[in-house]
Chain A
Amino acid sequence: MSTSKTRTKGHAAHRGANAARRSSAAKSKAPHGKGPNRAARRRGETQPWWRRSGIVLGLIVVAIAVGVGVQALRSSKGSGTIHRPAFAAANGAVTEGDTNAKVTVTEYGDFQCPNCARLQQTIGPTVQKLVNDGTIRFSYVPMAFLGSESELASNAAYCSGQSSFWKLHDYLFANQAPENSGALTTSTLTSFGSAAGVTDPSYASCVKDQTYLAFVKHVTDLASQAGVNQTPTLLIDGKPAPASAYTAAGLTAAVRAASSG
């Protein structure tokens, strides 16, 4: 009790002193440009800044903790069960070509990424030739980091089935629209399937139900964990390809070097 009384008294005294100081400060100098402590006293704030802002700082920490918790919960719930299409590898790669081919070329791409569409134009025919003559196996990993339309496109590619995956892959790159412009929806992707020649009877329902959505997210996450943070990324036998390999002639040369080396 006594302590609280003295505190009140002290506070009142302090306030009186403050008032005096305030008026003298106003007369003598401009009130700004001095240390915060003095400015705080002038405002009648006797506590240091960290005590006045402590509650706010504490609330921020609580908000961050709650936020992390909510996002962790969302990620554990939202992902759902991961269904992997039988023709895709565990890391999401879909592969074509002779299993006896000496060299494997892997591309990480996103169906919405403009440079991936450009690369497809540049090296697509060469890749096809090298696959057809048994020189390489070609793997494509559909990352989906450019938003929900990329996820829908990757899902559709997995829905198209082993026989049609490459048809839809080529079609999506040849008919690419600007990122997240609304061009890729479950309904447009269904009609893209017919246009590209996808024959799987369950394609439409698979696109609509987004059957492989959780797998698509998982694949993207795995690629990021593997250190792929740029698309397109080309690997030759699992090692990053040189910059020169992003051209038709350069890719042929890099593949030749890998098969002889």
Chain B
Amino acid sequence: MSSTEASRESAHQRARPAARRGAQLWASTCARLVLGAVWLWAALAKILDPEQSVIAVRAYRLLPEALVKPVAWGLPFLELAIAVLLLLGIRTRLAAWLSLGLLAVFVGSVASAWARGLSISCGCFGGGGVAAGIDWTSYATEIARDVGLMALSAWLAWRPRSRLAVEEGRR
């Protein structure tokens, strides 16, 4: 840490009670690591089984057939990128915004499948998005989980600074 950065840190600490600031830094650290782990899991499950991803994306019936494969193959790499940025703590605010945006797209897609009465599983963590007898509660659960993750992302977009980050002290 350079001397200017050090003085910046102390300026912050003067401005706000040190304990509260410390708690926030650790809260952001937890949010970052939890969110990063979830994205990593989601990405790897899909990258390892591209055929299932294609079926899952198609099952939503939102995209024309020509776009199904590029989205099914590319989306997991966006998730992976978000996971890497969050886990390492690089450009955390940017990663948090990307995470928030992508989750909003997912919530919209699941809600639209629900509204159209499609019986699909989300394919969120791999799997073909084909339901083995699905009930409405699983849509509600999926949306609730995504909203919870959106809350974590929003917190990180607001308070991107955290401990154990490559860009510690930066956003």
Q: Is the CB of A68 within 8 A of B55?
A: no
Q: Is the interface of B mostly helix, strand, loop or mixed?
A: helix
Q: Does A114 contact B (CB under 8 A)?
A: yes
Contact-size category for B:
35 or more
Contact of A146 among B12, B70, B128 (CB under 8 A): B128
Report Cα–Cα, A224/B90, bound state, in Å.
Answer: 39
Cβ-closest chain A residue relative to B43:
A67
**Known A60-B98, A145-B130; further 13 A-B contacts with Cβ < 8 A:** A22-B11, A26-B11, A30-B15, A43-B170, A49-B94, A56-B91, A56-B94, A60-B81, A72-B73, A220-B51, A221-B51, A225-B65, A229-B55
Q: Is the CB of A224 within 8 A of B58?
A: yes
Q: Is the CB of B132 within 8 A of A231?
A: yes
B46, chain A: closest CB distance, angstroms: 10
Contact of A230 among B49, B58, B80, B120 (CB under 8 A): B120
Q: Does B118 contact A (CB under 8 A)?
A: yes
A79, chain B: closest CB distance, angstroms: 9
B24, chain A: closest CB distance, angstroms: 9
- Cβ contacts under 8 Å, A39 to chain B: 171
Cβ-closest chain A residue relative to B10:
A26
Q: Does B36 contact A (CB under 8 A)?
A: no
Q: Does A44 contact B (CB under 8 A)?
A: yes
A35, chain B: closest CB distance, angstroms: 13
Q: Is the interface of A mostly helix, strand, loop or mixed?
A: helix
A63/B77 contact (C-beta < 8 A), A43-B170, A75-B50 known: yes
- Cβ contacts under 8 Å, A32 to chain B: 16
* Complex interface bits, B119-133 against A, C-beta within 8 A gives 1, otherwise 0: 110000001111111
Cβ-closest chain A residue relative to B15:
A30
Report Cα–Cα, A67/B4, bound state, in Å.
Answer: 40
25 residue pairs from A and B, CB less than 8 Å apart: A22-B8, A22-B11, A53-B94, A56-B90, A57-B94, A60-B78, A67-B80, A71-B50, A75-B51, A110-B130, A113-B132, A115-B132, A145-B52, A145-B130, A221-B54, A224-B55, A224-B130, A225-B58, A229-B55, A229-B58, A229-B119, A230-B130, A231-B130, A231-B131, A231-B132
- Cβ contacts under 8 Å, A227 to chain B: 61
A249, chain B: closest CB distance, angstroms: 20
A230/B119 contact (C-beta < 8 A), A43-B8, A67-B76 known: yes
Report Cα–Cα, A64/B72, bound state, in Å.
Answer: 11
Q: Does B85 contact A (CB under 8 A)?
A: yes
Q: Is the CB of B55 within 8 A of A145?
A: yes
Q: Is the CB of A64 within 8 A of B132?
A: no
Cβ-closest chain B residue relative to A151:
B51
A220/B132 contact (C-beta < 8 A), A71-B73, A146-B127 known: no
A229/B59 contact (C-beta < 8 A), A22-B11, A67-B73, A146-B128 known: yes
A14, chain B: closest CB distance, angstroms: 14
Q: Does A23 contact B (CB under 8 A)?
A: yes
How many chain A residues touch B (Cβ–Cβ < 8 Å)?
Answer: 47
A36, chain B: closest CB distance, angstroms: 8
Q: Is the CB of A68 within 8 A of B120?
A: no
Nearest first, the 9 closest Cβ-Cβ pairs linking A and B are A145-B128, A67-B77, A115-B133, A71-B73, A229-B59, A26-B11, A113-B132, A224-B55, A60-B81
- Cβ contacts under 8 Å, B170 to chain A: 43
Q: Is the CB of B8 within 8 A of A110?
A: no
B136, chain A: closest CB distance, angstroms: 14
Q: Is the CB of B127 within 8 A of A145?
A: yes
A136, chain B: closest CB distance, angstroms: 23
Q: Does A239 contact B (CB under 8 A)?
A: no
Q: Is the CB of B69 within 8 A of A72?
A: yes
Q: Is the CB of A26 within 8 A of B15?
A: yes
Report Cα–Cα, A53/B94, bound state, in Å.
Answer: 7
Q: Does B33 contact A (CB under 8 A)?
A: no
A122, chain B: closest CB distance, angstroms: 12
Report Cα–Cα, A71/B132, bound state, in Å.
Answer: 27
- By CB atoms of chain B within 10 A, which of A44, A64, A115, A224 has the most? A224
